[in-house]
Amino acid sequence: MTETPKKTLTLTKKSTNSTPKNTVSRTGKRIIRREELNPAPTKPANPKGKPTNKKKPARKPTKKPTIAPSDLKAKELNDRLNGFNVWLNFQPLALGIDKDLFKLVNDEQFPGGSKKVVQKVLRMHTHHGRYLAALVQGGERYQLDGLSNGEVSESERQWAAEKIKARQS
């Protein structure tokens, strides 16, 4: 094969027959040359009068704190559990009562009754002052239906007494 020289492409601008202007416009923008600008005033402007005290607009009221959906569901579940005398009277609950609560939530098809909600309700109930006072007194532990199921141990009574004492100080 013979090598042929490559052709180069040259572009030339078309000549315009117009006269040069003071401003050149390119793509819709105006270009102003420094020589064409008006000189800045040499005197400083007169100071304005005293500022008027305008009243600021009143603050917008703060938004009400929103309540988490799990808190709302926990309150509903607590209201439902208040139907049981053991729960309503803050008697010591049987160990493993959380499984009974899960079963109750599933059997009644309680809407929004999740594990988090059940644990929140159980924590609120078992850390209540009346429940802790019942633990300090000792005695029987009860299931939701009122049947006795074990007794409160001495270590649990001491723990409840410490909790009450810590709250009072």
What are the residue ranges spanned by the domains of the chain?
69-168
pLDDT at 125: 93
Contact 152, 135 (CB under 8 A): yes
pLDDT of 157 reads 92
- As separate numbers, helices (DSSP H) first and strands (DSSP E) second, the chain gives 6, 4
The residue count of the chain comes to: 169
In order along its 169 residues, the chain shows pLDDT tens digits of 578 888 787 878 777 665 555 555 456 677 777 777 776 666 666 666 666 777 788 888 888 888 888 888 889 889 988 998 999 999 999 999 989 888 888 888 777 778 888 999 999 999 999 999 999 998 899 998 889 988 999 999 999 999 999 988 8
* CATH class label, 69-168: mainly alpha
Mean of pLDDT over the chain: 82
Contact 132, 163 (CB under 8 A): yes
List pLDDT tens digits, range 16-51.
665 555 555 456 677 777 777 776 666 666 666 666
